Structure 1
Amino acid sequence: MDAAPSSTATPATTGSLWSELREALRGSHRDLTEAPLGRALFVLAVPMVLEMVMESVFAVTDIFFVGRLGADAQATVGLTETMETMVYALSFGLSIGAMSLVARRMGEKDEEAAARTAVQAIFLGLLFGIPLSVAGAVFAPTLLRLMGGSPWVLEHGVHFTRVLLGANVSVCLLFLINAIFRGAGDAATAMRALWLANGINIVLGPCLVFGLGPFPKMGVAGAAIATSIGRSTGVVYQLYRLTRGDGRLTVRWRHVRLEARTMLSVLSLSGAGTLQTVVGMTSWIVLVWIISRFGSEAVAGYTIAIRLVLFAILPSFGLANAAATLVGQNLGAKKPDRAERAAWKAGGVSAVFLGAIGLVFVAFAPQIVGIFTTDPVVLAHGAHGLRIISAGFAFYAYGMTFTQSLNGAGATWAPTWLNLLCFWAFELPLAWVLSVHAGMGPTGAFIACFAAFSLLAVASGAVFRRGHWKTVAV
């Protein structure tokens, strides 16, 4: 597939790279539909990539510290995070709807409508997040049992699960409000919120896990407490910035009222967005269930491998989010061709970056996984899985960019059907056949994961090239 030609200049050729970097980190107020495309992508992508880098660090922080407590503790984190993927799916789906609508309204230069949309999205986050928090805390033991947790996990790991799932409302709001900032083009504030949340977790995590200084030694549960405190603090900062009045988007008291029509618009886009994420996330849950048939060491190895994969791909997801914002705002400004060029440009940069990381992972998988475990069986499973999955990183980069660009355009059902095809209809049957019937064990699940994400990249690229997303009204 060939990218659409672009004559836009990059920041390196049109001005000081350092001044552009400072603008990106400080928060740019320039019109993203009028600035040179390379510069607009740069000022959005830098904070979004840094935001995802911190999320990547978070993804490996807990497993690094908890890994010192043994394979069962690592399996507790893996099983709980797998259950929480459903919360991530809902939060991500709501975020897709909020980001797409806010970006479109900002592109139309209607900041009042963008603010009202933001408030309705936050109401939805509370509506779904609070019941999920209560249910997660109450049913934590049952959920771990259903996930096939070992006796140690059921006895000692339940405290980790109860605390982490009990803070689900903070997950919903953290995802959702950051998507609002990104849709408005205020990627720098979203970056700071996540850096604050994860920075607290990184500092507080080892203190509570190992009992450093005046802190109590809480073991695996301490990691969940640190994570929950960090996320909740991040949400408080987001609300402060959203109402402060000096950003791209400001919420005032006059905006804080229920608007059924706007809420339904958010839900209309979010429904498909949630479903597409549910499809992807549930496939991960089933993969963990398949792998759990082969013991805690296999689950622990898979958990380490997936955390490392997330560490690598989240910065590229930041680029995909930048593309989605540009697509949404440029469609609002009636510039569909510029929206298409933005997606191709972001995809190319992402593929180069992620492809290079994939080569490193393939070459040094045992050494990298060995940082997180000393158990030889866990290391073997993790290294093998990391090599297989990371071999297709360049494909994944384009797949993320295309699917997020479709979401940014409001064409959320296209990625939904693609996820149904690639994950439910293809990945899960293949994983079961290879792992169980062909006797390949966890390797079969790893191969199925690689194949499904590669298929998604090719299929989403074909859909994006057809261009129907340019005519979607939101």
Structure 2
Amino acid sequence: MPVAAASSLGLTLWRQTWPMTIGVLALLGFQLVDSAFVSRLGTAPLAAQSFTFPLTFLIIGVQVGLGIAIAALISRALGAGEVARARRLGTLVVSVGSVTIALLAIVLWWAQVPIFTRLGADTATLPLIRAYWAPQLFAAWLGAVLYFIYSLFRAHGDTRLPGKMMVVTSLANLALDPLLIFGVGPWSGLGLPGAAWATAIAFGCGLLVVVGRLRHSDWLARSGLRQELAVSARPFIGIAGPAMIGQLMPPLAAMLAISVVAGLGEASVAAWGLASRLETLALVVVLAMTMSLPPWLGRCYGAGDWQQVRELIGLALRVVVAWQLGLGLLLAILAPWLAQLLAGSPEVRGDLTLLIRFLLPSYAALGVCMLVVSAGNALGWPLRAMLMSAARLFVCYLPCLWLGAWLGGLAGLAMGAALGNVLAGLMAWQLMRRLLARRGHDGGPESKLLARERT
């Protein structure tokens, strides 16, 4: 690729990604701030919150799987010039997605006791979880609806408004957290549930703003929805089904992982919960790319431009590896100070320092795997992306994590998880190389025709 073309491509990738990077950084930052405030309540509330993370990730997995389908189908329709169909799809998927997440939240509330008991929560922790779980589920539903609308904006090429709103909601949560958790003046606050209510209020305010903006856009339709549902249900399920299963695997793996960590003690569970929040924050650039890149790839797919696809993926992978490796090594060096900032208990700080030093440098390989899975969903390979997610978690990550914990306690668990990430990254890179090699070099007219037929 010529230097000028590579520079132009990199500049466009930067313009598409930086708003989402800032937004995701703010969004994940407030989740980490939540845990930092909760840690000041004591080890027991922090451990109670940590037990809810896998189920929260379960909800996020469903919403992200649906969001992938939203972005893929709408961007492909726009790439093929089918603007009216894109409007109908936008209306359908946002409404169906909101109802789906609401039903999931109801099921998770009803089944909370057997689920958390199986995860390792004891009788002293269950009342803390119950008080937190209802407002947390409400906040998760509001966040899911907000995410679906963000996906609609991204599919139309607007990454700035979602990025700005993520920052605004994060600042609102940051301001509300200490007030609702610890109180002000004579009011003693809500304790652990206050963190969930702060998130719910922040998401609710953000939802009011984006719904108002959406009403003034030309991205929704009121007619032809029933016919569109009949035509698009199958391709939507074909993308959303594997993508959702792929997104549900990390929460399942997180449940299995925390059940292993629970055997190492309450302090290790609390440290693992903080490390999980720190993981998503450290992967902010990767997460932003998994949001900004698929709509762009979807348009290339709709137009049959596979040369552009190869160039985009190659550039994105190079950026991810360089950034994550540098950031991971830096944070590993700063691990003791970072743990002191986040954790209140000396025992939790020691465990968190150990986890940071081993896990964060391995996120360079994890980032490669995440980007390959996201690109696979956008490019018409949802089944392969799902299988890649399964292989990462159940062939690489969990076996190495369990074996490490069995051999060496928390230190062995950290080393095993890092090794699993590296193996998954290498596997994903080889898979993407093989898939792209099967496409024609220039993505000519025949490739374009096939892409349009798939859309």
Q: Same fold (TM over 0.5)?
A: yes
Quickly say closer, same or farther: Cα 1:100–1:170, change in 2 above 3 A: same
CA contact (8 A) 2:62 2:101 kept: no
More helix by percentage: 2
Shift of 1:49: 1.0
CA contact (8 A) 1:99 1:179 kept: yes
Map of 2:422 onto structure 1: 454
Match of 1:91 among 58, 63, 81: 63
CA contact (8 A) 2:59 2:140 kept: yes
Map of 2:83 onto structure 1: 111
* Farther off after superposition, 369-378 or 459-468: 459-468
Aligned pairs, number: 441
Please give the residue correspondences for 1:394-409 in structure 2 after superposition, counting only pairs within 5 Å.
394-409=364-379
Map of 2:337 onto structure 1: 367
Q: Which amino acid aligns with 1:453?
A: N
CA contact (8 A) 1:160 1:220 kept: yes
* Farther off after superposition, 258-267 or 376-385: 258-267
Map of 1:319 onto structure 2: 289
CA contact (8 A) 2:317 2:371 kept: yes
Match of 2:275 among 291, 305, 310: 305
Map of 1:209 onto structure 2: 181
CA contact (8 A) 2:300 2:309 kept: yes
Q: Provide the rounded CA distance (Å) in 1 between the counterparts of 2:115 and 2:403.
A: 26
Q: Which amino acid aligns with 1:228?
A: A
CA contact (8 A) 1:291 1:441 kept: no
Q: Which amino acid aligns with 1:71?
A: T
CA contact (8 A) 2:297 2:379 kept: yes
Map of 1:8 onto structure 2: 5
Shift of 1:6: 5.9
Shift of 1:284: 1.4
CA contact (8 A) 2:53 2:273 kept: no
Query: What whole-Å deviation, never above 9, does each CA across 1:290-332 have from its counterpart, x for those lacking one?
Result: 0011111001111111211211102222123322222111122
Map of 2:248 onto structure 1: 278
Shift of 1:66: 0.4
Match of 2:30 among 58, 64, 69: 58
Provide TM-score, normalisation by structure 1. Answer: 0.87
Shift of 1:215: 6.3
Structure 2, unaligned runs of 5 or more:
none
Q: Provide the rounded CA distance (Å) in 2 between the counterparts of 1:430 and 1:346.
A: 28
Structure 1, unaligned runs of 5 or more:
11-35
Map of 1:77 onto structure 2: 49
Map of 1:433 onto structure 2: 403
Query: What whole-Å deviation, never above 9, does each CA across 1:426-445 have from its counterpart, x for those lacking one?
Result: 32233223313x2x223333
Query: What whole-Å deviation, never above 9, does each CA across 1:319-353 have from its counterpart, x for those lacking one?
Result: 23322222111122221111221121122222222
Shift of 1:214: 8.2
Query: What whole-Å deviation, never above 9, does each CA across 1:44-81 have from its counterpart, x for those lacking one?
Result: 11111112111221231110110100111111221112
Shift of 1:278: 1.5
CA contact (8 A) 2:19 2:160 kept: yes
Map of 1:22 onto structure 2: none
Aligned with 1:217: secondary structure? coil
Provide TM-score, normalisation by structure 2. Answer: 0.90
Aligned with 1:392: secondary structure? helix
CA contact (8 A) 1:120 1:262 kept: no
Quickly say closer, same or farther: Cα 1:39–1:432, change in 2 above 3 A: closer
Map of 2:433 onto structure 1: 465
Q: Provide the rounded CA distance (Å) in 2 between the counterparts of 1:255 and 1:386.
A: 52
Q: Which amino acid aligns with 1:134?
A: I
Q: Which amino acid aligns with 2:41?
A: L
Query: What whole-Å deviation, never above 9, does each CA across 1:23-59 have from its counterpart, x for those lacking one?
Result: xxxxxxxxxxxxx423321221111111211122123
* Farther off after superposition, 288-297 or 411-420: 411-420
CA contact (8 A) 1:117 1:266 kept: no
Q: Percent identity?
A: 20
Match of 1:136 among 108, 120, 123: 108
Match of 1:251 among 212, 220, 237: 220
Please give the residue correspondences for 1:19-418 in structure 2 after superposition, counting only pairs within 5 Å.
36-212=8-184, 217-245=189-217, 250-254=219-223, 259-418=229-388
* Farther off after superposition, 180-189 or 213-222: 213-222
Query: What whole-Å deviation, never above 9, does each CA across 1:129-178 have from its counterpart, x for those lacking one?
Result: 12122223333344332321244321233211222124443233223222
Shift of 1:236: 3.1
Shift of 1:93: 0.9
Q: Which amino acid aligns with 1:8?
A: A
Map of 1:30 onto structure 2: none
Q: Does 1:442 pair with 2:414?
A: no
Q: Provide the rounded CA distance (Å) in 2 between the counterparts of 1:314 and 1:463.
A: 24
Q: Provide the rounded CA distance (Å) in 1 between the counterparts of 2:159 and 2:361.
A: 30
Query: What whole-Å deviation, never above 9, does each CA across 1:182-233 have from its counterpart, x for those lacking one?
Result: 2221111221332233222211111100102586610001001111222233
